[in-house]
Amino acid sequence: MSQKDARRLTFLLLLSPFLLWILLLVVIPHIDMFMLSVREKIEPRVYETGLGNYIEVFSEPVYVHTLFRTAVMSVAATALTLLLAFPVSYYIAKLARGRLKSALFLMCLLPFWVSELVRVFGWMILLRETGVISSFLQWAGLVSGPVEFLYNDAAVMVGLVYTSMLFMVVPLVSTLDSLDESLVEAGYDLGGGGFAVLREIVIPHAMPGIVAGCIIVFMLSLGNYLTPILLGGKSSLWFTGHIYSQFITRFNWEFGAAFGFILLATSSLLVWLALRLSGQTLASTIAKS
């Protein structure tokens, strides 16, 4: 065996676990779910192939409204996460030094040492009618009675931002850390103000990290189930709630599979539009971040 063939074999052997994982846990389940979504139940144990499940989803206004609402709130959660995470990431990457830098990054990482369920329950304890925030407002005399902060869009937004903040901070810190400080100094020396330097130097350099973080946060928010249901209540109207209902409550797997593929198509379309608008490509974003 030649040296070239040996390197090729070594590469294939190293790559095979990843390919096997993708094939068994991603490709095959999605193919099976798609085949399930195009099965229409005519009568018990009698099926035919067609797009009836998809047509039924889009013919129901409540399903269309829920899909649109979920997409809009996911975009809003992504934008808010970016606005909060960018200054934090810039401080960690460019201003903090030594142990402070490590401590700040650890503080961002620390909440993720527990499960999402525990973190969401923590917010429920803070926001409920008898929770910490309501009790403090009553103690301070700012309100006359208990205030319920749960079961509304604001509570859902807080939970979505909190549960996905780290996934925005990490790619931003990674990208901003490679920014040459002399470029920022040159921008100020040439008469640029803080906003001009941010717009012309910092943001263009951080764009791969921004795009990568936004893609991750958006897809996590769009596919989130626990946070909208627990913080928004049964009336939260989140699309994943319909998927859960069809699979678990009604045992209508064909209809639930159609819901799942509609959500997948929606997320893929919005990510593609975001990449086109930002002028980035998925390959370059992954490579640079």
Q: What is the CATH number of the domain that holds 118?
A: 1.10.3720.10
Identify the pLDDT of residue 73: 94
Identify the pLDDT of residue 287: 57
Residue 272 domain flag:
yes
Residues of the chain with pLDDT under 70: 1, 44, 46, 281-289
Identify the pLDDT of residue 284: 60
Question: Which residue segment(s) compose the domain that 190 sits in?
Answer: 60-288
Residue 39 domain flag:
no
Alpha-carbon distance of 83 to 287, in angstroms, equals 23
Identify the pLDDT of residue 234: 72
Alpha-carbon distance of 81 to 149, in angstroms, equals 20
Residue 6 domain flag:
no
Q: What is the pLDDT of residues 47-75, one digit of tens each?
A: 788 888 899 889 999 999 999 999 999 99
Alpha-carbon distance of 46 to 267, in angstroms, equals 32
Amino acid at 256: G
Residue with tokens 């005399």: 141
Strands 46-49 and 39-43, bridge-based pairing: antiparallel
Identify the pLDDT of residue 257: 92
Residue 64 domain flag:
yes
Identify the pLDDT of residue 64: 93
- Our count of domains for the chain comes to 1
Q: What is the pLDDT of residues 237-270, one digit of tens each?
A: 899 988 988 888 888 888 999 999 999 999 989 8
CA angle (127, 150, 163) in 5-degree steps = 75
Residue 154 domain flag:
yes
**pTM, two decimal places:** 0.87
Identify the pLDDT of residue 286: 58
The three-class DSSP label of residue 115 is coil
Residue 43 domain flag:
no
Residue 197 domain flag:
yes
Residue 44 domain flag:
no
Alpha-carbon distance of 288 to 212, in angstroms, equals 9
